[in-house]
Amino acid sequence: MGQRKVINRLKKYREEHEERILPELPEHIFIEILSKIPPKFLRNTFSLVCKAWYRLIRSLEFMEKINAVQHKPGIIVSFLVTPNCYIEFPYCKAKLLQIDEKEFDIKLTNFGPTRMGYIRSSCNGLILVSEPRPSTLCVRNMLTGSVLTLPACPSGCLHSFDECGAGLGFNPVTKEYKVVHIYSDGYGFEIFTIGSDKEWRQIPGPFKESYERPYDINHFRWGDVDIINGHVFHWIVESDEYFISMDIRDEKLRKTKLPNLRSKIKKMDYEFVEIDGKLSFVYRASSTQIDVWVLTDFGKQKISKVMVQGEEEQNGSEERKDKLPDFLKLFVVATLRNGEVIVLSRIRNPGNNESIYLYDMKTREMRKFKMKIKDGTRFIPHTSSLVSWTTEMDLSPNFTNISL
């Protein structure tokens, strides 16, 4: 009997016995077993066994299980590689930074190809990338290889390096992915809903008149957004009183107040990070003190001071292996372990081995590591997933595998 006949007979046998075999074991048992298998084998081999396994591997319950078991949160460390950061459309290279929990150490692994576009943001294992040639925005899953190229923006923006801001988010109510893009607030914000929109939609910017802007419109550039819980977007502007926010569930722009400090807040003295699913404001008060404020209620704009790390906590700690550095020479780049660990980096001297610090807010332990920081280095929180698609409609609300 030829090989093709054997394959066809096995396929027919599986189809005939599929409904009878699978019910013998509860579905949660299958999920538990399959969640231990490396993702590339799940996608390329196990999902092809039969229709039932294909549906199971792409189901909401299975994706949540495998994300919890296999996909540890990390930070994409993206930097420009060619030819330099001074051209409009550079190429990038990226690594994934994760914590070694046993040793409170870091490990770096390659993320994506050696040459790729500029990574803007990450959401549910998907990354938003500006591709240099042609100048387009696309959504990628580096684990599954899925790619979706978005249509050109009505504003005509070419998405060059440091010339616009863009972010990818997920609406947990409608189960939709949205891309928000801003080139000039005079033109407005552009929003594209994947799987629903055929074109970008435009909404007015946060300022009606030029005098309302806290910055010089000729010199200010909107940067990439800080995204909390996948759907609340925040942009830092040149204001010592507020920043601009948008919840993509209602697509309304609003001003969110900064913490009330005794002195004026300078943009260069603070960063935004996510701690326990909330926006956190990390302020470098002095060379020996950082303050952490948390936006505990976004709707009511309630912000609370939750932690102070200062010189007084280091009294009698000379025996520590890693002493506290000068906080004014550091900036906070991200958090790990659901916000328990703050990741800090020195103000960069491009091309040199600079220091990366991990600070555990519970144990007050700080560790220092060396890392080569290059031009245009960015740190983007990321967790891998098996979200994949064949067409844009696969990412529509009716497609179950995006509901993470």
**121 strand-pairing partners:** 128
Q: What is the largest CA-CA distance in the chain?
A: 85
Q: Residues with Cβ < 8 Å from 220, sequence gap 6 or more?
A: 213, 237, 238
Residue at token pair 């697509």: 251
> Strands 341-346 and 353-360, how do they pair?
antiparallel
Where, residue-wise, is CATH 2.120.10.30 in the chain? 71-395
The dotted CATH code for 71-395 is 2.120.10.30
* DSSP label of 310: -
When the candidates are 1.20.1420, 1.20.120, 1.20.1280, 1.10.10, the CATH number that belongs to 3-68 is: 1.20.1280
Where, residue-wise, is CATH 1.20.1280 in the chain? 3-68
Q: CB-side exposure of 13: number of CA atoms within 13 Å?
A: 6
pLDDT of residue 399: 45
The radius of gyration of the chain's CA atoms, rounded to the nearest angstrom, is 23
CA distances from 119 to 137, 151, 156, 259, 395 (A): 10, 18, 20, 30, 20
pLDDT of residue 5: 62
- Tokens encoding 55: 């549906």
The whole-angstrom separation of Cα 184 and Cα 215 is 12
- Tokens encoding 214: 């806290």
> Strands 118-123 and 165-171, how do they pair?
unpaired
Question: Is the pLDDT score of 306 beyond 70?
Answer: yes
> Residue 15: phi, psi to the nearest 5?
-65, -40
Contact 188, 205 (CB under 8 A): yes
Across 54-68, 143-157, 238-252, 337-351, the highest mean pLDDT is recorded for: 238-252
Of residues 17 and 342, more confidently modeled: 342
Per residue in 181-210, pLDDT (tens digit) is: 998 877 889 999 998 878 999 999 898 888
pTM of the model: 0.80
* DSSP label of 116: B
Q: Which of 66-75, 160-169, 208-217, 294-303 has the lowest mean pLDDT?
A: 66-75
Would you place residue 400 in the very low, low, confident or very high pLDDT band (cuts 50, 70, 90)? Answer: very low
CA distances from 85 to 80, 82, 197, 211, 379 (A): 6, 8, 33, 33, 16
* DSSP label of 138: E
